[in-house]
């Protein structure tokens, strides 16, 4: 069995007495694009830096295609990193920025000396080769026209591409990206997402992409690793992470608007009840235990008439977003309110009404115990909707 | 970036820094050591640091008595404090006007400020001296302060600093009914405090050290500032009494050094800030 | 806002501004503008303090000055002094800053130690150096003799005196330059070093060449400018130790102005020298702003 292209094994790291990472295990297959997503401060950037070699873990190992890289410094690991601030050398032109990694690797220290180095044998040929590769990469990123400019003369998106170019030109064994799109405005960000995914597909190199934007992660990655509180909670395809979250924190973090979480109890008939209202049945949990019933906004059905297994709510306001509408409701049991995603005409129809009834469409609920763990439901016989 | 890394490099670095520090501090060491030695030993003791016969009392007494040392130090303090106070009082409102207000002649004024940065006191000392002489102001403490009350450097520094203060703060103050003068002292001053203290340090060090103007303007020992006082001491000194001379230098250097040691952060931040803004 | 109200507000603002500037403007006139004009005027004469007869020489005064051997000597001495002091104190200041910055724990201690000379009274320390440099019993020569070298006649020989003053000048400036470089170093974005590491920049020398030195550009320029200007203004050490001698070897620009103007009372000639002095400083500052500033800020 081929070893994973990039494997982070048992990584733990503390800064002083504060633990930041604990028991991290992440295996990335050859050519895979994995998004490491989590809120700010969860340790994902630290993990990335450990993978790069810019930080040393307290425990654990970093393996690249089976080779242990943990003891090697970053410059020897043959990985490329794209930084959030791009970290382009301000005093060098785009061409020089992109040529530097190649020059550092292929020219000896003597050959790199400013004037004399160019006179040494072999230096000329190598330099020309380097320039050709820089130009080829620049063309593929459509920045060939910018080669002679300095970073200060470029726009945010252009700098972003130069940073990508600097990473690409080396043909590294892995790409590490630290929130590269955070500094761009919203429209550019969406456009660059596509470009990066395209680039990845063409280069075919394993990529570890860190972001705090879960939409970005879901949209770009082959697999998503959700990181919360210094631990990786779930690694799965975007679809699975969304539909089948491993625990309550993952369910809350992934998905926008946030999943609606109703507090409830399991009754003697294995049904989840919120107050006196039943929301789900066939719950695999002890009677009397507390439970959270999670309903994603798109699965929250609102109607003017009560339906079986519905909860009375009050409509507070409707946000029209063009292609869809968000209905914000309040309920006594839910201090944070509920949000439902509706088609615009349905929402318009509800507008005058104040008292509504909310239920889970097609019984689509996610159940969690008080510790956040998933609770299953036994398979259904069909139930009346 | 790799941190300290190999202990060998660190040891080497510490060695170099330590040796360098020894070289840099060696004048101070000898200054102190010689101030304790009698004249005979100064000539003969070679590199020995600890005196065989202690002459500390005699040397320091001579230092205090041959010139009115206490008086001279006091003069230095008075003059420097007065200078800084006047400089800030005059420069701050002007810098605020230059930075935030529009008025005809603003560019001209700023141009004059820039020009003033180029012209050190030495260059215009002649007419200033002539004017002071005609006004009968020579040999007073006032004449030591007056030429320096204008500090274009302060104006320049404060202006850069004040420009960074958000305009909204000032607009809010105006709508609260504050007049411009009140704005300067109630809003700008507290905000410009880092720049003001940085400048104060810079100014005190520069003027404490200044020899040129006191040399020209003062001839009476009782009105001397420390640098001039030391020159008088050397003149009053019979040739080679290095022991007493070193004692005098110790006493004269001590105030600023003590001030520095107590307020190191302030000093270094002050230098840093004038550097970053300049 | 209706146009009338706008100009009213403007006038109000202008009036307030003038009130704020008035005292300073008066001072500027009295302490800057008028003296500069006076110096310019005096420089064109052969005025002497106390002498009622004044002849107008016009630009001939400058011609006389520039052909005067003593003045050219003062100019040359000052230039030599600057050449000796500036490169040494800038390079040493940078070297110290690099070493201290890399040192995590002893940083504050070393920073203060090296800064001490810069806060010590120049006249006082000059006297100390005089003792250190005494040809027979000064510690420096004693050390040299211990190591097998002959002692040097530091301040007493016209060949060495300027160099001796330069040593003192460097000693005084190192700490100050070091602090400025330290500030510049800490301002460098750390991610640049991380990016360099990823790019394969391994050795300390390469890091310095690729990131540190280019990013220090503005700081280096500032330090160099300040050091040059302070070196051109050298006076305290000359006044205390050598009084321009021996044999005019340490006669520098400011000392020459002082001697001519306040000892010999040749006010006219001294004013001409003062004007030359200002022109030199102006020239240096113009080079800094126009030529180098743009290069160094990477616009």
Sign of the C-alpha dihedral, residues B31, B35, B36, B37?
positive
Q: Which residue has the tokens 């230039």?
A: C79
**Bridge partners, residue A206, by sequence:** A174
Hey, of C94, C103, C139, C290, which one would you mutate to test binding to chain B, going by the most B CBs within 10 A of its CB?
C139
Q: Measuring CA to CA, how many Å separate B37 from each of A323, B30, B69, B230?
A: 94, 11, 20, 19
**Helix, strand, coil % in chain B, rounded to nearest 5:** 75, 0, 25
CA dihedral of B61, B62, B64, B65, whole degrees rounded to 10: 110
Give B115→chain C minimum CA distance, Å.
9
> Is the minimum CB–CB distance between C218 and chain A shorter than 8 Å?
no
**Partner-chain contact A89 C206, CB within 8 Å:** no
- Res. B4 pLDDT band, cuts 50 70 90: very low
Q: Which of A114, A170, A151, A90 is nearest to C206 (CA)?
A: A114
C-beta of residue B77 within 8 angstroms of C-beta of residue B144: no
CB contact under 8 A, C278 and B123: yes
Q: How far apart are CA C259 and CA C71, in angstroms?
A: 12
Touching subunits for chain C (3+ Cβ pairs under 8 A): A, B
Identify the residue among B12, B15, B17 best suited for mutation to test binding to C, counting C beta carbons within 10 A and taking the highest: B17
CB B144 within 8 A of CB C13: no
% of chain B beyond a pLDDT of 90: 8
| Residue B235 contacts C, CB cutoff 8 Å | no
Of C192, C199, C211, the CB nearest to A104: C199
Contact between C280 and C76 under an 8 Å Cβ cutoff? The reply is no
Tell me the count of B-C CB pairs closer than 8 A: 284
Is A46 within 8 Å of A122 (Cβ atoms)? no
- State the DSSP code for C149: P
pLDDT at B176: 86
Threshold 0.90, pTM exceeds = no
Q: Count Cβ neighbours within 10 Å for each residue of B130-163 and write b for 16 or more, e otherwise.
A: bbbeeeeebeeeebbbbbbbbbbbbbbbbbebbe
Chain C residues near residue B43 by CB distance under 8 angstroms: 136-137
Residue C299, pLDDT above cutoff 60: no
Q: Which of B108, A89, B8 is nearest to C211 (CA)?
A: A89
Of A220-229, C18-27, C116-125, C285-294, give the range with the top mean pLDDT.
Answer: A220-229
Angle made by CA atoms A290, A291, A294, in degrees to the nearest 5: 160
Compare A168 and B3 and report the one with higher pLDDT.
A168
Q: Model confidence over B164-183: pLDDT tens digits? A: 888 888 888 888 888 877 88
Determine, for residues B208 and C121 on separate chains, whether the beta-carbon distance falls below 8 Å. Answer: yes
| Mean per-residue pLDDT of chain B | 83
Give the alpha-carbon dihedral of A46, A52, A58, A64, to 10 degrees: 130
CB contact under 8 A, C39 and B184: no
Q: What share of chain C is helix, strand, coil (3-state, %, to 5)?
A: 75, 0, 25
DSSP A250-285: HHHHSSSSPPEEEEEEE-TTS-EEETTEEEE--B-S
**Least confident stretch, A225-239, A247-261, B30-44, C209-223:** B30-44
Residue C51: closest CA among A201, A366, B130:
B130
If one counts every other C-beta atom within 10 angstroms of the C-beta of residue A144, the result is 15
DSSP per position, A94-122? HHHHHHHHHHHHHS-TTTTSTTGGGGSTT
pLDDT at residue A221 is higher than 70:
yes
In the prediction, which pLDDT does C298 show? 61
* Contact state of A87 with C189 under an 8 Å Cβ cutoff: yes
ipTM tops 0.90: no
Q: Which residues of C touch A91 (CB under 8 A)?
A: 214-215, 217, 298
- Identify the burial level of C6 via C-beta atoms within 10 angstroms of its C-beta, where 0-12 means exposed, 13-18 middle and 19 or more buried: exposed
Location of structure tokens 């507090």: A263
Give one word for B46, left, alpha or beta, with left for phi > 0 and alpha for psi -120 to 50.
left
Q: Is C182's CB within 8 Å of B126's CB?
A: no
**pLDDT, tens digit (0-9, with 9 covering 90-100), for A268-280:** 888 888 877 888 8
Per-residue pLDDT, B118: 76
Closest CA to C107 of C170, C32, C171, C185: C185
Whether C126 contacts C166, CB under 8 Å? no
Q: Does C119 touch chain B (CB under 8 A)?
A: yes
pLDDT tens digits, residue range B212-223? Answer: 999 988 888 888
What per-residue confidence (pLDDT) applies to C147?
84
Q: Does B276 touch chain C (CB under 8 A)?
A: yes
Predicted confidence at residue B1, as pLDDT, reads: 37
Maximum CA extent, chain A: 87
Closest CA to A76 of A49, A100, A52, A47: A52
Q: CA-CA distance, A373 to A294, in Å (whole number)?
A: 12
Q: ω before A257 within 30° of 0 (cis)?
A: yes
Q: Please, are residues A299 and A262 in contact by the beta-carbon 8 Å criterion? A: no
- Rounded distance between C-alpha atoms, residue C206 and residue A110, angstroms: 12
Phi, psi (rounded to 5 degrees) for A283:
-80, 130
Residue C209 reports pLDDT greater than 50: yes
Q: Which of A251, A238, A286, A295 is nearest to A266 (CA)?
A: A286
Q: Do B122 and C108 touch (CB under 8 A)?
A: no
Residues 6+ apart with CB under 8 A from A313: A302, A329, A330, A331, A334, A338, A355, A356, A357, A358
Residue A138 contacts residue A98 (beta carbons within 8 Å): yes
Alpha carbons C168 and B27: distance in angstroms, whole number: 10
Q: What pLDDT is recorded for position C286? A: 81
Cβ neighbours of A267 (radius 10 Å): 14
Question: Which pLDDT band holds residue B119 (cuts at 50, 70, 90)?
Answer: confident
- C20 vs B101: CB contact, 8 Å cut-off? yes
CB A39 within 8 A of CB A252: no
| Cα distance between residue C193 and residue C183, in whole Å | 17
Compute the distance between CA of residue A340 and CA of residue A302 in angstroms, rounded to an integer.
Answer: 8
Phi and psi, residue A321, nearest 5°: -110, 20
Is the CB of B74 inside 8 Å of chain C's CB atoms? no
Output the CA torsion sign for B211, B213, B218, B223.
negative
| pLDDT 10s digits, B95-117 | 888 888 888 888 888 888 877 87
Touching B: which chains, 3+ CB pairs < 8 A? C
Burial of residue C168 (CB within 10 Å: 0-12, 13-18, 19+) is buried
Q: Are B80 and B204 in contact (CB under 8 A)?
A: yes
Place of tokens 């050190």: B120
How many DSSP H helices and E strands does chain B contain?
16, 0
Angle, in degrees to the nearest 10, between helices C267-286 and C60-67? 80
Cα-Cα-Cα-Cα dihedral of C9, C12, C14, C17, to 10°?
-130
Arithmetic mean of pLDDT over chain C: 85
β A174-178/A79-82 pair status: parallel
Read off the pLDDT of each residue in B62-66 and give the average, rounded to a whole number: 81
C-beta of residue A59 within 8 angstroms of C-beta of residue A12: yes
pLDDT, tens digit, 9 for 90 and up, residues C228-277: 988 988 998 998 888 887 888 888 988 998 988 888 888 888 888 888 88
Spatial strand order in the sheet of A18-28: A18-28, A6-15, A59-64, A67-68
Interface of C with B in 204-263 (CB under 8 A): 207, 219, 222-223, 226, 233, 235-236, 239-240, 254, 257-258, 261-262
Q: Which chains touch A (3 or more CB pairs under 8 A)?
A: C
CA gyration radius for chain B?
24
Nearest CA-CA partner of A253 in A300, A213, A221, A293 = A213
Q: Mean per-residue pLDDT for A215-225?
A: 93
DSSP class of C45: B
**DSSP secondary structure code for residue C29 in this structure:** I
The answer to whether C187 contacts chain A (CB < 8 Å) is no
How many CB atoms neighbour CB B172 within 10 A?
Answer: 12
Distance, in Å, from the CA atom of A300 to the CA atom of A316, rounded to the nearest integer, reads: 15
Q: Identify which of B220, A288, A291, A289 has the alpha carbon closest to the alpha carbon of residue A279.
A: A291
pLDDT band at B266 (very low <50, low <70, confident <90, very high): confident
Cβ neighbors of B142 (< 8 A, separation 6 or more) are none
Assess C146–A contact: CB distance below 8 Å, yes or no.
Answer: no
Q: How far is CA C86 from the centre of its chain?
A: 9
């Amino acid at each position: 069995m081929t070893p994973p292209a990039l494997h982070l094994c048992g990584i733990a790291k503390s800064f002083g007495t504060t633990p930041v990472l604990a028991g991290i295990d992440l295996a990335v297959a050859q050519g895979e694009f994995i998004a490491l997503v989590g809120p700010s401060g969860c340790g994902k950037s630290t993990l990335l830096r450990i993978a790069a070699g810019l930080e040393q873990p307290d425990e654990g190992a970093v393996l690249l295609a089976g080779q242990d890289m943990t003891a090697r410094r970053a410059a020897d690991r043959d990985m490329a990193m794209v930084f959030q601030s791009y970290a382009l050398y301000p005093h060098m032109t785009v061409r020089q920025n992109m040529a530097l990694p190649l020059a550092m690797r292929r020219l000896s220290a003597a050959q790199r000396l400013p004037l004399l180095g160019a006179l040494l044998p072999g230096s000329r040929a190598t330099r020309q080769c380097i320039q050709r590769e820089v130009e080829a990469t620049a063309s593929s990123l459509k920045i060939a026209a910018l080669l002679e400019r300095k970073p200060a003369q470029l726009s945010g998106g252009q700098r972003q591409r130069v940073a990508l170019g600097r990473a690409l030109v080396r043909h590294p064994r892995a790409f590490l990206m630290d929130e590269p799109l955070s500094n761009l405005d919203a429209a550019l960000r969406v456009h660059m997402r596509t470009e990066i995914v395209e680039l990845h597909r063409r280069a075919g190199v394993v990529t570890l992409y860190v972001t705090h934007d879960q939409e970005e992660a879901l949209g770009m990655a082959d697999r998503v690793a959700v990181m919360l509180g210094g631990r990786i909670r779930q690694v799965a395809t975007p679809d699975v992470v969304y539909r089948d979250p491993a625990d309550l924190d993952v369910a809350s973090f992934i998905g926008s608007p946030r999943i609606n979480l109703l507090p409830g109890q399991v009754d003697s008939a294995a049904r989840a009840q919120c107050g006196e209202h039943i929301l789900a049945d066939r719950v695999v949990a002890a009677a009397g235990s507390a439970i959270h019933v999670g309903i994603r906004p798109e699965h929250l059905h609102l109607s003017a008439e009560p339906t079986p297994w519905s909860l009375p709510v009050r409509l507070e306001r409707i946000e029209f977003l063009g292609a869809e509408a968000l209905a914000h409701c309040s309920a006594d049991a839910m201090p944070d309110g509920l949000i439902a995603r509706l088609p615009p005409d349905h929402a318009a129809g509800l507008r005058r009404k104040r008292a509504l009834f909310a239920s889970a469409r097609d019984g689509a609920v996610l159940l969690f115990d008080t510790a956040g763990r998933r609770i299953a439901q036994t398979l259904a016989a069909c139930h009346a909707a | 970036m790799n941190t300290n890394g190999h202990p060998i490099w660190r040891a080497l670095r510490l060695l170099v820094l330590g040796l360098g520090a020894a070289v840099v501090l060696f004048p101070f060491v000898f200054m102190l050591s010689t101030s304790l030695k009698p004249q005979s030993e100064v000539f003969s003791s070679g590199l020995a640091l600890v005196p065989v016969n202690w002459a500390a009392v005699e040397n320091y007494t001579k230092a205090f008595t041959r010139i009115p040392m206490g008086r001279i130090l006091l003069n230095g303090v008075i003059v420097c404090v007065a200078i800084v106070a006047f400089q800030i009082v005059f420069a701050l409102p002007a810098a605020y006007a230059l930075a935030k207000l529009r008025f005809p002649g603003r560019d001209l004024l700023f141009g004059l400020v820039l020009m003033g940065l180029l012209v050190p006191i030495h260059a215009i000392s002649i007419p200033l001296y002539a004017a002071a002489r005609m006004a009968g102001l020579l040999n007073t403490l006032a004449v030591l302060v007056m030429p320096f009350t204008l500090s274009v450097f302060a104006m320049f520094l404060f202006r850069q600093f004040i420009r960074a203060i958000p305009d909204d703060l000032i607009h809010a103050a105006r709508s609260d009914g504050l007049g411009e003068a009140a704005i300067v002292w109630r809003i700008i001053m507290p905000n410009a405090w880092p720049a003001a203290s940085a400048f104060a340090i810079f100014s005190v060090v520069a003027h404490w050290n200044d020899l040129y103007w006191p040399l020209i303007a003062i001839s009476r020992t009782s009105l001397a500032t420390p640098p001039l006082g030391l020159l008088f001491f050397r003149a009053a000194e019979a040739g080679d009494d290095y022991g007493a001379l070193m004692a005098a230098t110790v006493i004269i250097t001590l105030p600023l050094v003590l001030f520095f040691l107590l307020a190191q952060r302030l000093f270094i931040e002050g230098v840093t800030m004038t550097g970053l803004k300049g | 806002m209706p146009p009338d109200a706008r100009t009213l507000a403007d006038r109000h603002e202008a009036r307030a501004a003038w009130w704020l500037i008035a005292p300073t403007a008066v001072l500027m006139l009295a302490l800057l503008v008028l003296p500069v004009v006076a110096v310019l005027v005096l420089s064109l004469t052969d005025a002497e303090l106390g002498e009622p007869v004044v002849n107008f020489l016009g630009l001939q005064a400058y011609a006389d000055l520039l052909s005067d051997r003593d003045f050219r000597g003062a100019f040359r001495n000052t230039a030599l002094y600057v050449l000796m002091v500036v490169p040494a104190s800038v390079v040493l200041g940078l070297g110290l800053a690099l070493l201290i910055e890399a040192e995590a724990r002893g940083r504050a201690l070393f920073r203060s130690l090296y800064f001490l000379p810069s806060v010590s009274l120049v006249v006082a320390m000059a006297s100390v150096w005089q003792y250190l440099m005494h040809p027979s019993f000064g510690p420096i020569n004693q050390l040299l003799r211990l190591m097998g070298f002959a002692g040097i006649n530091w301040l007493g020989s016209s060949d060495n005196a300027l160099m001796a003053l330069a040593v003192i000048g460097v000693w005084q400036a190192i700490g100050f330059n070091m602090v400025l470089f330290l500030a510049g170093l800490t301002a460098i974005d750390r991610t640049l070093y991380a990016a360099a590491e990823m790019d394969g920049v391994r050795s300390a020398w390469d890091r310095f060449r690729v990131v540190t030195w280019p990013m220090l550009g503005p700081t280096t320029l500032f330090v160099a400018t300040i050091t040059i200007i302070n070196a051109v203004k050298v006076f305290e050490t000359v006044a205390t130790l050598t009084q321009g001698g021996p044999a005019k070897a340490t006669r520098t620009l400011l000392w020459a102005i002082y001697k001519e103007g306040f000892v010999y009372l040749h006010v006219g000639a001294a004013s001409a020298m003062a004007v030359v002095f200002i022109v030199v400083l102006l020239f240096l500052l113009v080079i800094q702003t126009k030529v180098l500033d743009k290069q160094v800020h990477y616009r």
